[in-house]
Each structure stands twice: as structure tokens, then as C-alpha cells.
Amino acid sequence: MVSISAKRPRDHAPWITLVGVLGGPFRGSEAVALGLLTRARLRGAGYLRVFPDVYLPAGGVDDLATRSRAAYLLVREQGGVLAGYSAAVLLGADCAPARAPAEVLVSGDARARAGLRVTRGEVVDADITTASGVRITTGVRTAWDLARRLPLVEGVVAVDALARVTGFDPAALVARRATQPGARGCRKLDDIVRLADPRAESPPETRLRVALVRAGLPSPAVQHRIVEEHGFVLARADLAYPDARLAIEYDGAVHFDRRRAERDRARDAELAQLGWETLRLVSEDVHCSLPQTVARIARLLALRAPGRYPGTEIDRRAVSELL
């Protein structure tokens, strides 16, 4: 194992020519040294100081990816890397909560600040990759770090999202534990890996699936293809109970577009002709009234396939604990 500071990056050309000439986060001292800005302009209203000597153009995009690239500049010369939710977002995994802080992993001294989470530790070269010109932890290392520290549901959300975009098998986390048996939080990896399914296409899908299982219901099929009698695929449901012909769809913001909504209604009507019922859920159903949503699904299953789902009782306490 080598310290991440042992491979200190050099010559960032300087920082990709200050991110397309100050179009993103940059080091103020580098911008002044290159003659792109004066110190007076840097202190003016046109630029926002995010971290010591790290700035953003005022009025620019303020999202986790941008804040993470800014955080990397703060620890770059120490050999630091982006980790946790910062690494996840740059890998393309949509699993971070709103306003999550940027996260860095360093082997030396670095102070946590507003909007910045700092973890001290070491990492082997195999656990480091690059994205958007910055060094970050790989998908499986990022999942290892997040899954051990997060509550169960959010751990599964992170593993699903990271495994989907980077292609690792969630079982790799259990294998990794065999080489680091004393790592903090590693005992819950069995439950997380058992519940993980990289086919999930959004965090709400994962949260609902985990809630259904924790409530005592069978795990629904994920991204289930519904076909007609000749084998033509009519639809792909986010979640489904095929034996009850119940399709469950999570409608994000894109589904509120008028044309998309019309296509959804037409598809639902076509599936209804084949005996399928489509239950469409929105953010409030998953984030605000999850126990009620799970109970609703349990009732639908009992109505549509009483032989398979004879009861409607669910473990509401288990579901409430997930909120």
C-alpha cells in the first residue's frame, strides 16, 4: 500500500489553462501568475471564493460536481483525491443527496471546512482513476467507502448507482472485506450486497424496492420487460410483480412533460388490455409517505393475486425506520 501523497500530480497545464480561461473552479494564485486576473479583480464581485485560494466565476453553476472540482484544487498538491459522493458524481453515479458536501481523501493534514468533508487515509494505486482531469477513487472503492458509512438504504442506493455506471459486481465489496476484515462499518455489507441490484435506474427505485423487501414482501423484478403474445416488448417497468401483473413506475420530472405524460397514458392503456395495472408514483410517495405507499402496493398484490399474496399486513415499523 502506498500513500496517495506519494504520487503527487504535477503540471496540470496549468489546470487545463485555468478551466477554459476561468470558466470553472481555479486557483486564484495561478490565475494571477498567468496574468489572467489581477488580485483586485479576483477580490471583486465577479468571482466567488469557495475555499482558500480556490475561486469560481460568480453566478456560475453551483452543483456537487463543480464544488468537487474546486475541492480537488485545494488538496491537489498534497496528492489528495476526490472520494465519496464527489467521486460518485464525477463517475456519473446519481446517488448524492441535495447539497452534499464535496469529499476529499488525503494522507496528510487537511482541515474540514464548510462544504467540504475530509477523510484521512491511504489508498493503493489500483483504487485511483481520473475523471474530468482530476484524480478520484474508483467505482468499487467509492462504493466501499460509502456503503460502510451510510445508513442501509442509502448504502444500497450508492452501490446500485456506482455498480450500474462502472460495471463492478456488488459482491466485490464482500470479497474486499476479506482483505480488510476490521474496517469500520463492514459488517453491514452482507445486507447491502444482498439488496443491491445495479439494474435500478434511479435512487427512488432502489429506495422503494428496499422498502418493499424490508416490509416483508418479495423483491419485485427490476426493469421488467412486458411482452405481448408474439414476443414484442411493449414496455419496461421500473419495478414489477409479473405474477400479479402489477407494474410500478417512478415518474421523475421528465414525466411531467405533456407529450411524455400522453405517451405514458397510452402505454398504460395498452398494458391494461393485457391485464396489467400500472401504479405510477412520484417523489412524495417515496420520500414523504413511504409506509403508506408500501401498504398500497401490498393491498394491490393481495387483490390481483390472492393465491400468491394472501395477506396485506406489512412490517410498517421496518419501513418507517428507513425514512
Residue 323's pLDDT is what?
63
Statement to judge: residues 25 and 140 lie in one domain: yes
- Measured between its terminal Cα atoms, the distance across the chain in Å is 38
Contact 250, 205 (CB under 8 A): yes
Q: What is the pLDDT of residues 233-265, one digit of tens each?
A: 999 999 999 999 999 999 986 556 778 889 999
Let me know whether 42 and 119 are in one domain. Answer: yes
Q: How far apart are CA 7 and CA 130, in angstroms?
A: 13
Q: Are 209 and 162 contained in the same domain? A: no
Range of the domain at 285: 203-320
CA distances from 279 to 3, 294, 316, 317 (A): 51, 12, 20, 23
**In terms of domains, do 51 and 92 share one?**
yes
12 has a pLDDT exceeding 70: no
Quick one: 39 and 185 in the same domain? yes
Query: What does DSSP say about strands 128-131 and 134-137: parallel, antiparallel, or unpaired?
Result: antiparallel
Kindly compute the dihedral angle of the four CA atoms of residues 276, 278, 279, 280, in this order, to the nearest 10 degrees: 170
Same domain, 165 and 262: no
Segment 2-9 mean pLDDT: 44
User: How many angstroms from the chain centroid is the CA of residue 244?
Assistant: 30
Instruction: Assess whether 47 and 168 both reside in one domain.
Output: yes
**How does strand 102-106 pair with strand 116-120?**
parallel
pTM as predicted: 0.88
Q: Which pLDDT does position 132 carry in this prediction?
A: 84
Residues 122, 261, single domain; the answer is: no
Report the CATH number at residue 245.
3.40.960.10
Residue 47 pairs with which residues in a beta bridge?
57
SS3 at position 254? helix
Query: Are both 182 and 228 inside the same structural domain?
Result: no
Classify residue 176 as left (phi > 0), alpha (psi -120 to 50) or beta: alpha
Same domain, 125 and 260: no
Using one digit for the tens of pLDDT, what is the confidence trace for 83-133? 999 999 999 999 999 889 999 999 877 788 889 999 998 888 999 999 988
**Residues 37-94 pLDDT 10s:** 999 999 999 999 999 999 999 887 789 999 999 999 999 988 999 999 999 999 999 9
Which of 195, 212, 232 represents a domain boundary (last residue)?
195
Q: Is residue 158's pLDDT more than 60?
A: yes
Which residue, 176, 195, 214, sits at the end of a domain? 195
Q: What is the mean pLDDT of the chain?
A: 89
Verify that 163 and 38 share a domain, yes or no. Answer: yes
What are the tens digits of pLDDT across the range 294-318? 999 999 999 999 988 877 677 777 7
- The number of domains in the chain is 2
